[in-house]
Amino acid sequence: MMHRTTFRLGLLAAAALLAAGSASAATLRWAGANDINTVDPHSQNHQTTHAFLQQVYESLVRYDEKFQVEPALATKWTQVSPTQVRFELRKGVKFHDGAPFTADDVVFSLTRAMTPPSNMQSATQSVKELKKVDDHTVDVFLKGPNPILLRELTEARIMNKAWAEKHNSVKSQDYGGKEESYASRNANGTGPYKLVGWQPDVKLTLTKNADWWDKPRGNVDEVVFTPIKSAATRTAALVSGQVDFVVDPPPQDLARLKNTPELKLIEGAENRTIFFGLDQFRDELPGAGTPGKNPLKDKRVRQAMYQAIDTAGLHKNTMRGLSVPAGAMVAPMVHGWTKQLDERASKYDVEAAKKLLADAGYPNGFALKLECPNDRYVNDEAICQAVTAMWTRIGIKTTLAAAPMAQFVTRVMNNDVNAYLFGWGVATFDALYTLDSLMSTKQGKTAAGVYNGGRFSDAKLDEMIQQIKSEMDAPKRDALLHDALKLTKDEYYYIPLHHQIRPWAMRKGVETVHRADDRPMPNWTTVK
């Protein structure tokens, strides 16, 4: 039912963490460049948001240190048939308001996650319906066999049905429609921490759930998160001791941080690929100066833009080594990645790029607006500034518009972008997650193509993705994954830049485990 993905993690750090777990209770003061988007667990598929919500809300299953699936709110699951899985639920679990956790909550929550405007339909994309067997048993009926059902369900967080009904939050918050709801500002989960309060762009506070069914492995009983957009201010806060932990230290400050005696860095590869998306839908590209035409629909133009980017230069000068130049749209620890796929589709060549533009009928280029977040990925705005110059050099007169992630992502979801920088982490560690969300033809607010901001459509690719969803023969499925990723690469539907390396900076007294999903675990953390 699940594909086992293995790769090396900081097991020594995990062992040290377990040994230190009996230390006295402490507060973890955490800072990062961007805030969460919402506390509604089904509203936004956004990594910073997930990092906090997974501490408050839980799923039927979860990942261990090696990203293997283990029981959480479900203690056992049985494959009744290829399209029916029975989950036995953990007894004695209580929500933060004291309400008992039952099968009704599971049926309600997974149905909510499946239903627009939920942005977490990828977690339930294969689910057809749910049926309560008894108070602690639920049957999940599937549209077809699903080899990675459990991995998808790690992201399907469980709410209290009665609480949601009481507070008029039966449906997910419509984030793209700028809706506010009770569930977008308040939370009631079963997880290790309770939400005390959230002031957007100011502070988020979590406190230990003393009644949690599981045992924490660290000593953190309070988490105070402060979003600090300014790189210099974020570094100063860590150096001065105002915060204990920074999830995204500025690359330009890493040498200084390494040489500060009170601090330490841990770093590792993230399962996130940074790339450019391009509008391949509109018949006329707004502001391009090409009446009646959209140059980005032409593969030659997309290839020219690809070949104009010096990814080696970006790696060395902009990223300061915190990247792995990419040819594939998935990172090495994601199932479906191969070394062959990750080689560049075509070499960096400015003159070849100019010729491709001329061959496509744009010898004088065109104008392009590039949109970019400025608080989300490592050096996101700096990457866009560098590429703006590279594209302008071949005649594509590029102007940059940078904005905070919370504003930027709404424009991507509403298809209101010409070209944009994005990063995609793979929650399931399986390439289907990327293919379905980014490469499928966009279908309203369903899971398929939900983040296909360029709205390209390829019937052959759609067919492959549908086959991948239900193919249980591993070699056949792997071949389909390869072919789908190769087709995306060959057509230049996206322009991959690099796989992100993510360092975490912290005070010497903080012991934690680096996570490839870039989600720190306060309940695995000890602060001395």
Q: Answer whether residue 364 shows pLDDT above 90.
A: yes
User: Minimum mean pLDDT among 15-19, 112-116, 128-132, 197-201: which range?
Assistant: 15-19
Compute the mean pLDDT over every residue in the chain, rounded to the nearest whole number: 94
- Both tokens of 66, joined, read 């090696």
- Cβ pair 30, 244 in contact under 8 A: yes
Quick one: pLDDT at residue 109?
A: 98
Q: Comparing C-alpha atoms, which of 500, 10, 496 is closest to residue 251?
A: 500
* Cα distance from N-terminal residue to C-terminal residue, the chain: 41
3-state SS assignment for residue 400: strand
Determine the CATH number of domain 27-262+508-527.
Answer: 3.40.190.10
Q: Comparing C-alpha atoms, which of 100, 82, 80 is closest to residue 90?
A: 100
Domain(s) of CATH 3.10.105.10: residues in the chain = 269-502
- Cβ pair 500, 377 in contact under 8 A: yes
Domain(s) of CATH 3.40.190.10: residues in the chain = 27-262+508-527
More confident residue, 186 or 14: 186
pTM more than 0.85: yes
Quick one: pLDDT at residue 4?
A: 34
Kindly report the number of other CB atoms within 10 A of residue 493's CB atom.
23
Task: Convert the pLDDT of each residue in 34-84 to its tens digit.
Answer: 999 999 999 999 999 999 999 999 999 999 999 999 999 999 999 999 999
Determine the CATH number of domain 269-502.
Answer: 3.10.105.10
- Detail the DSSP E strand segments found in 214-262: 220-227, 245-246
Q: Which percentage of the chain shows pLDDT scores above 90?
A: 90
